[in-house]
Amino acid sequence: MSLDLKTKLDKELKDDAEIRNLWLEGIHNRDHRQTFKKTNEFYDFIIVGAGTAGCVLARELVYNIPNINILVLEAGPPNTQVNDIMRSPCETDWGYFSEDQKMSSIIDPTKEISNKGFPYPRGKVIGGCSAVNGMIYIRGHKADYDLWASQSPEYKIWDYEHCLEAFKAIENNTRKNPDEEFKKFHGFNGLLYVQDRQDDTYDIIKDVFKVAKNLGIPHNNDFNGIRQYGVGEYQHTMKDGKRFTLADGYLIDALKKVETYPPSKPFETASPHGSGDDVAKFVAVNVKCFAHVLNIIWDEEKKDENVAIGVKYFYDGRVHESFIAPKGEVIICGGTINSAQTLMLSGIGPKNNLEENNIKVRKELPVGRNLLDHPSCCITARASVPNGNSQLHYSSSGLELGMFYKGDINGKIPSKKHFLDERPDIQFYASTSLLDPAVIANDAKPKKDKILSMLSVLNLPSSVGHLELCSSNPFIHPKIFLNFYEKPDDLYVMMSSLKLSCEILKQPPLSTVWGVETDVDKEMSDEDWEQYIRKKVIGLLSGAFSSYHPCGTVKMAPESQGGCVNHRLQVYGTKNLRVIDASIFPTIPAGNLNAPTAMVAWKASRLIEEDYKNKA
């Protein structure tokens, strides 16, 4: 994205924030009846964010705990008008931008390379990122969850066997005639539809399969099964060939739940559902769109404790307050960026960052640290044979071919042993859609060129980023520092994968179908190929881009090990407050994050149910 566009976006965000800031400043200068709306609404649970986690959580709680009411606050719109893939900026995108990054060039250590910031889209819509992502259903590797569980004995509930139970409970896999091994790892009665591709695989993708076979890469018809390595086709979160979000599966079902409101509830006189002697019927889940949460409300009467009692949010031109019942909880499900920001705005976070933004420190925790993501890099070829889709965006039926393997730490082309490694660190995509943001930026209009994109994703990066507040204004975005390729090992592994992509493109029958506008030239010598790789690496440093899989900013771990929430996802140093979304991942799973986020929410609902029943 050009600097001019970035400047324009920054200005729009600044103007937008300043308008809202006037509203907030007005709280202290105007009649509260005009600016504040104290609704006296009490709920058993207030869920902040109707993304993947929020949708699953709302449904599971309302169906498993009798006679409760839930408020779900979503900053974005309903998802009825969302396109298959989000384009940034837009109404359903938060409009984040990563910060510029400087580092030494691994090719020439005497030179400092500036990695320009880039758009960092996140779903701002009912369904969250499940409404705008690439729809790929990958859970990660068994070792990912066993690593989570290894932190301390009480974290055993997060090992692979426990997580597999949740994955299967969520999933409604529609594969035809699944074999017995497939059945061991998948669910068929959940609310999230998962399916194989519905259309024929494009000829050029079949050619990639042939090349992979010739290179000794084993076939894998289930990346979520007994092993992850190999080459195969992805499954997608779709139903009948169309996107299926967590809102479609879970939130819609939650909204159907009608409860009997018992007058004996201790907070009935303050309930939004009325009071009196008659038993009333009410919809158990109340969803508000365009409701931007500002901060958590604390019980100021309890001076020595951080007891969450509600949230403050901007909605319909006013600041509102909603509260939780005596046994209730505030549950933050805003996603990796928003959940961290909400905690910090509420006084939970790094002491220095809070104080420099004039925020009272209630509990010092490393919120915003441990920002993890999957760096990506793409090689693009333009083929001269028909291959179906010609649009410059993701295919409406998802990405076609997938491959998992171990990258070479020395930057060499992976050998046969790397394709059989039990712990792959590269996730590969081959698609007949244009995936490279740099190429898309240079091709403003869709062309009829036939595209073959070879996308490499670093699934187990060593580099770690962070985010921090730059204002106490909730409408000003935090600064996002991704720190891609800060660790040289990450760069060498990515180089290894790029070389494999080039090697695949050099093999027949792929080598015979390139057009004149290919990203690489079929007449290139070995020296030329090496130089090309070097230039591509420089390109990584000066224009790296992301898979947009952020996680980890509210880390689940013992507090002594940098944790922000415990194994039950309760925020340290607080009461009645949890965080449930990808921000709690201690380490990043080796795959796409939508499925793991839904799994975490499903498991968390059981923990909340246990604790709710044990409360007096």
The full set of domains in the chain, from first to last, is 29-80+246-371+552-614 (3.50.50.60), 101-123+131-139+198-244+374-546 (3.30.560.10)
pLDDT attached to residue 515: 46
Token pair listed for 310: 């509600």
Please give the DSSP secondary-structure letter assigned to residue 222. Answer: -
pLDDT attached to residue 587: 99
pLDDT attached to residue 181: 97
Residue 363: how many CA atoms within 13 Å on its side-chain side?
23
Residue ranges for the chain with pLDDT beneath 50: 1-6, 8-13, 15-36, 81, 84-86, 88, 262-279, 387-398, 444-446, 515-517
- Note whether 481 and 101 are within 8 A (CB): yes
Helix (H) or strand (E) holding 163: helix 160-170
Q: Tell me how long the chain is.
A: 616
- Note whether 308 and 343 are within 8 A (CB): no
Phi, psi of 140 (to 5 degrees): 110, -175
Tokens 């006679």 correspond to 67
Tokens 């509990």 correspond to 363
Question: What strands lie across the sheet with 375-383, from one edge to the other?
Answer: 230-233, 401-405, 426-431, 450-458, 375-383, 545-546
Bridge pairing between strands 426-431 and 401-405: antiparallel
Q: What percent of the chain is helix, strand and coil (3-state, nearest 5)?
A: 30, 25, 45
Gap between the terminal Cα atoms of the chain: 55
Residue 115 bridge partners (DSSP)? 101
Please give the DSSP secondary-structure letter assigned to residue 420. Answer: G
Instruction: Report pTM.
Output: 0.88
Helix (H/G/I), strand (E/B), else coil: 243: strand
pLDDT attached to residue 197: 84
Task: Point out the annotated binding site.
Answer: 125, 293
Task: Point out the annotated binding site for FAD.
Answer: 125, 293
